[in-house]
Amino acid sequence: MEEIVKGKLTLDGEIAIDPAIALKGGEILSWDGSGIVEPAVDDGITILYEDKCFVAVNKTGNLPVHPSGRYFNNTLVAMVEDRYGCKVYPAHRIDRETSGVILLAFDGKGAASLSEALAKGSKEYLALVHGNFPDVELIVDLPLGRDIESAVKKKRKAWPGGTQSAVTRFQKVLAAGDISLIRCFPKTGRLNQIRAHLHSAGFPIVGDKLYGRDETAFLQFIEHGLTAELEERLLLPRSALHASRLIFLHPLNKKEMIIEAPLPKMFSDYIHSKRADG
């Protein structure tokens, strides 16, 4: 209704003024989205590899991959399309706050081939977590399902009653004060798998608003954004999860590809600060 009052909707080229008008089918209904200010993002992406099939990008930690919600132009896809002057197709996905390696193909068929190659390959993530992680390898084999006890509908939970099988291996790299840097190897590729598995194991990711130590941080963020008080509470401005390495066979020449993204400065700075405090 508000958009109609503002004259943002047109029906067959004429400004729509009656919200109760019935559509018969075949009409062209348009919305003018100009003037909308999208949330700011970190556009400091870097190209890790490129060929005629795909491009590998080191995504920053405050950048959605594709248009959704309040984001349309401020996305990784839009930035890469602007750089190359053609459409690109993500072969997989990582969360807005997760940094690191992501592959984008130059056509839909290439994206499907890349996705298949990734499914047969391996992925490695780095994460900063609360607590002193065990020195021995930890394997979490817990199915995932919707967390019906959470106030956030999209939140998932790792528990024996979950509906989707999920397995992740974790290895400790180092400890600094009361946090640890760990390597994460997801065997399956479920939505929010690493975050939910670490939460269930008692080692939530530093800065994670939804799967961290207190999910009310997510609700506060949705309502008020990242305030100074919230950032102090979270310790870091975003979830400290980083897609560090992809290993797969190139879809065209079958050559083994190893694409790596360096540890983000945010991670190393925080580790140094914790060691200095200790």
Which residues are known to be catalytic? Answer: 95
Q: Return the beta strands (E) in the chain as ranges.
A: 9-11, 14-15, 29-31, 46-50, 54-59, 89-90, 99-105, 122-130, 138-141, 144-146, 156-158, 167-176, 179-186, 241-249, 256-260
Nearest to 62 by CA among 52, 75, 49: 75
CB hemisphere CA count around 139 (13 angstroms): 4
Q: Is the dihedral of CA 50, 119, 82, 125 positive or negative?
A: negative
Q: How far apart are CA 184 and CA 167, in angstroms?
A: 11
- Say if strands 122-130 and 241-249 run parallel, antiparallel, or are unpaired: antiparallel
Q: How far apart are CA 247 and CA 234, in angstroms?
A: 32
In degrees to the nearest 10, what's the CA dihedral of 184, 59, 178, 196?
-50
Written as six digits, the tokens of 116 are: 């298949």
Q: How far apart are CA 205 and CA 208, in angstroms?
A: 6
Q: How far apart are CA 143 and CA 145, in angstroms?
A: 7
